Structure 1
Amino acid sequence: MPKVLISDKLSPAAIDIFKRRGIDVTVKTGLAPAELREIIGEFDGLAIRSATKVTRELLDAATNLKVIGRAGIGVDNVDVKSATARGVVVMNTPYGNAITTAEHAIGLMFALARELPEASASTKAGKWEKNRFMGVELTGKTLGLIGAGNIGSIVADRALGLKMRVLAYDPYLTEARATTLGVEKADLDTVLARADFITLHTPLTEQTRNILSRESIARTKPGVRIINCARGGLVDEAALYDALKSGHVAGAALDVFEVEPAKESPLFALPNVVCTPHLGAATTEAQENVALQVAEQISDFLLTGAVTNAINMASVSAEDAPRLKPYMELCQLLGSFAGQLTEARQGVIRKVGIEYEGAAAHVNQRPLSAALFAGLLAPMMEGVNMVNAPVFARDHGIELAETVFDRDCEYQTLIRVSVTTDEQTRTVSGTLFGGAKPRLVEVKGIKVEADFGRHMLYVTNRDKPGFIAQCSAILAEKGINIATFHLGRTEKGGDAVCLISIDETLPDDALAAIRALPQVMQATQISF
């Protein structure tokens, strides 16, 4: 039974989901980092919100951890790079609180435009300063979006309903998507120069940190109002303070800050600043939604292998997971086979090519390629799995070329792998027999049909009489039983391939004896 730790406060409904799905769930919130490190090693999954900090040190202690689920969008509190290196899937729930956060941004925009917090405080103090609070309308104003993803697109929709014009800056926004949203795609300088209101909806990365820097704020339209419900650190708070004091920026509404909890800030003293304590996702509906989603996602992954909303690997839906499982197994075995055949003397791997034909051309190939890389690199590197294998491959300069052939082929499905080293390129191909059982069908261009046995002996030799008898005699002498024996050749007297499934590991002296046979060019023991 998989074990999951909930280390931050989640809805009780999430606990019920884990239990109903057959997950052993433990709830321990408010743990100090040292306390969490002491117990994390026994858990397969970790469900968190923003309070738990998943550091490299915590991951070092998480020897059994397979998945981290963040109930919410931001994963700033997770060392994703370290998690990926350790093969831990990191998931978030990007949709559960999107509407809530977008509504909060719109609410702050209204509050800022009509000076609602100051007007409320004044009225409650017994004043009636009707002439003091002269706001502005939103209708007809230009809203500048920085980030047009899930939340930004909802904000755009609501703003259009308020009869605002919307400019959107997002490097990933296509013209077609902008047309669908009803917004004008623009570069950052255009947004800064034309927007009456600017609202931020982008994650905090090295590229977006201080995207509203002192220089950027100076390029904004005089009298602009700025709203940030995304992440602290997107706005240079010191520069914003100076711009608010000078009047260049008419007002700001902040739900997030560079340092949280934000107990003190020069911005708090300014009357044209509206502040809330990171309430973007703080509605009953959002808290329930993200808790339910993260519980379902973690459960799906641990029980079926489904990967949803992962930050660091390809997604596999719960519906696709059973269908993809045999393809992923085939890819992992093909990669492992090719990796074990790649000897150090042949140089480092430079390029991997993967070709998908037949039924394999019509499934999600991203997790298949990840599984293949995991199998390929496992013989050479420790701790490799589907999560970190593509990263390891990229870090080691291995080029990947994927080709999908939407055409009929000799088999119902065919996956061909080519591995290029400094010395040579080797190909192996496989299919699914009966749609489910992995089978080798080609090695080095030579047709040979063989099941993947737990222990195998791979031999390339010259096609001459006597080899089979000599090889079998060596195995018999060492008491090694042969399970299956598969042969293939290019032509009579040419190069040949021999794949022998054996019942146990081959002793080193037996392997050396086979390699010493005059017909043998390569002999390698393969284990799965």
Structure 2
Amino acid sequence: MSNRRILIIDEMHKSISPLLKQVGFVPSYSPHITREEIIRLKEQYVGFVVRSKTTIDKALLDGQKQLKFIARAGAGIDQLDVSYLENRGIEILNAPEGNRDALGEHVLGMLLCLANHLRHADMEVRNKVWDREGNRGFEIGGKTIGLLGYGHMGTAVAEKLAGFGCRVIAYDKYKKNYGDLYAEQVAMEDIYEQADIFSLHVPLTDETRNLVDLKYLKQFKKPIVFINAARGEVVPLQDLLQAMNEGIIRLAALDVLENEKLSFLTDQQAVNFNKLIKDDRVLLSPHVGGWSFESYQKINEVLVDKIKNINFSDG
């Protein structure tokens, strides 16, 4: 194959270029390149390495006639026009193996924080309030934890929970025979019936967008601890707030939001966000589940390993 040039359009761990060179590619590290500059490129590349800078679609890639792959530095591919890429025969690579452990630990950390009122207790002690009874927590042991989705992220969470003496049940519409040492395979109805804690691990697709709405949440038989470290658009924030008001959700940990551009919220989104941040039953983090120092480098290693195994044809 004569063209072995790869364009990297987002900030990546510094190991990306050396790793690509080691397997015979010519990386062009351009994290500050704009969408308009990419569209106007005359140089031809065999692949793009991307994160979340811009939508990867026909308008962006039409001029890249030799493109063989898009490598997404992370798990989600919701910013990729999958049908366009498939029609052109452009392979899609992602790296959930690289950040699964970081995501699993983050979810566990958020759950432990909620269970033990750590954020609330910390703030009180800083203000010289010593309230032991008001900050009495609950144990994860003996609880039933329901996972929606049992891919790389769901399995990582289940593995991290293995030592806590809890029961983990999982439902994944797109997998078969996925029960393992860490989680039981169940129907979604079983999760509605039995879950004390419910954690989302599904990608954002047309099917999952707004999936977990108020009607969905009302099917739970017990008040739940709710965790979303997947994609914010899966859960309408208005419905989440209503579910909390109605006692369906008793505690919530959110690493993702419906609109994460907090300076560009619609009026209604701003109203909902203000309600959310005033509720001390909610724990928030800025979409950093899976974004550890270690995963930053591991994602590169996973992607480069997949890139070197693509079957490139000459020309």
TM-score (ref. length: structure 1): 0.54
1:413-492 equivalence runs, <5 A: none
Q: Paired residue for 1:270?
A: 279
Shift of 1:36: 2.0
Partner of 1:185: 185
CA shift, 1:186, in A, is: 2.0
Q: How does 1:204-243 map to 2 (within 5 A)?
A: 204-243=204-243
**Cα distance, 1:248 vs. partner?**
2.6
**Which residues of 2 match residues 106-117 of structure 1 at below 5 A?**
106-117=108-119
Report SS of the residue matched to 1:123.
Answer: helix
Find the partner of 1:293 among 296, 302, 309. Answer: 302
Q: Counterpart of 1:104 in 2: which secondary structure?
A: helix
Partners of 2:110 and 2:19 lie apart in 1 by 35
In structure 2, relative to structure 1, the CA distance for the partners of 1:97 and 1:40 (3 Å cut) is farther
Q: Judging changes above 3 Å, is the alpha-carbon distance between structure 1 residues 41 and 90 closer, same or farther for their aligned structure 2 residues?
A: farther
Partner of residue 33 from structure 2, selected from 14, 31, 51? 31
How far off its partner does 1:154 sit? 2.3
Aligned-residue offset at 1:173: 4.1
Cα pair 2:144 2:194 within 8 Å, conserved: yes
In 2: Cα distance, 1:40 partner to 1:202 partner: 38
Return the alpha-carbon distance in structure 2 between the equivalents of residues 54 and 260 of structure 1.
Answer: 19
1:99 pairs with one of 98, 101, 104: 101
Measure how far apart 1:40 and its partner are.
Answer: 7.1
TM-score by length of 2: 0.89
Task: Give yes or no for contact 1:6–1:29 (8 Å, CA) kept in 2.
Answer: yes
Matches of 2:42 and 2:122 in 1, distance apart? Answer: 47
Specify the code of the residue in structure 2 equivalent to 1:39: L
- Shift in alpha-carbon separation, 1:140–1:42, aligned structure 2, 3 A: same
Deviation at 1:182, TM superposition (A): 4.5
Determine helix, strand or coil for the equivalent of 1:47.
strand
Normalized per residue, the structure richer in strand is: 1
Give structure 1 stretches of 5+ with no counterpart. Answer: 306-324, 326-528
Offset at 1:145? Answer: 0.8
4+ residue runs of structure 1 moved beyond 3 angstroms?
172-175, 261-264
Aligned-CA RMSD value? 2.1
What is the Cα deviation at residue 288 of structure 1?
Answer: 0.4
For residue 59 of structure 2, give the secondary structure of its aligned residue in structure 1: helix
Distance 1:70 1:88, change over 3 A: same
Contact 1:153 1:181 in 2 (8 A): no
The higher radius of gyration belongs to: 1
* Code of the aligned partner of 2:37: E
Distance across 1 between alignment mates of 2:128 and 2:83? 55
1:136 shift after superposition: 1.4
Match of 2:129 among 107, 127, 130: 127
- Structure 2, gaps ≥5 residues long: 264-269
Shift in alpha-carbon separation, 1:293–1:158, aligned structure 2, 3 A:
closer
1:202 CA displacement: 1.3
1:118-140 per-residue CA deviation (whole Å, 9 max, x = no partner) reads 22222223332333223211110
Check whether the contact 1:41–1:63 (CA below 8 A) recurs between aligned residues. Answer: no
Contact kept, 8 Å, 2:117 with 2:137, in 1: the verdict is yes
